[in-house]
Amino acid sequence: MKKEKNDPTTPGTTTTVIPLQTTVQTPITLGSANNFAVIAGSSVTNTGATNITGDLGLSPGTSIGGFPPGILNGTLHINDAIANQAKLDITTAYNDAAARVASDMVTISGNIGGLTLTPGLYKSTSSLAVSSGDVTFDALGDPSAIFVIQIASTLTTTPGRKVLLSGGALASNIYWQVSSSASFGTTTSFKGTVIALESITFDTGATLEGRALARNGAVTMEGNTFVLPLEHHHHHH
């Protein structure tokens, strides 16, 4: 195929175009987990100057270490009624995300760095990584547009990788359902609600606008910044 003079692609690379989906995904209800920036199942460990804006929860584990030096701008819930209910609610949310199907859902795999994802449902049948490029979520001008990513194995990012938002996309409308564990490389800038069956690990300087919700395992932090995502209050009916 003849290359046009203005073709921006590098010779020898393929540009993956993600098909547009017409099936509209609805938000995943987080219930009482909504105000939590971090929830873990077994334990929470922190080293360094981690800063969490939002609540921090643990259930059924009892060990939270590293606060201080970590700073919590929110409420700590260890095995109380609120933490226990939040854990039930993230299980419901996880099961909702994992069960979603759509005739036009898009299969993704391996490294999604460099891709632009538009609203809808994405399914990875193995592990997923953001490496050798950043991943962009483009809401196409609709700030209530929902993105659901189902991952059959691990979710990882390499150092410095980013989740970028465009077209009005909001971190509060991105849901990552991780069937094992998630791990974020140093200085990664990540966005969305991450619900992992096992553990979630943040290397030094990684940041999250969203939620780190680990059902069974630990959440491990190392000088990280967590903020709850801005909500969009207009809803389609």
At 9 the pLDDT is 43
Positions in the chain whose pLDDT score sits under 50? 1-11, 235-237
Q: Is 141 helix (H, G, I), strand (E, B) or coil?
A: coil
Q: How does strand 120-124 pair with strand 147-151? A: parallel
The first and second tokens of residue 212, run together, are 């780190």
At 13 the pLDDT is 52
Largest alpha-carbon pair distance within the chain? 65
pTM of the model: 0.92
At 181 the pLDDT is 98
Length of the chain as a residue count:
237
At 17 the pLDDT is 81
Return the domain boundaries, the chain: 31-225
Strands (E) in 103-222, as ranges, are 106-107, 110-111, 116-117, 120-124, 128-130, 135-138, 147-151, 155-157, 163-166, 174-178, 182-184, 189-196, 200-202, 207-214, 219-222
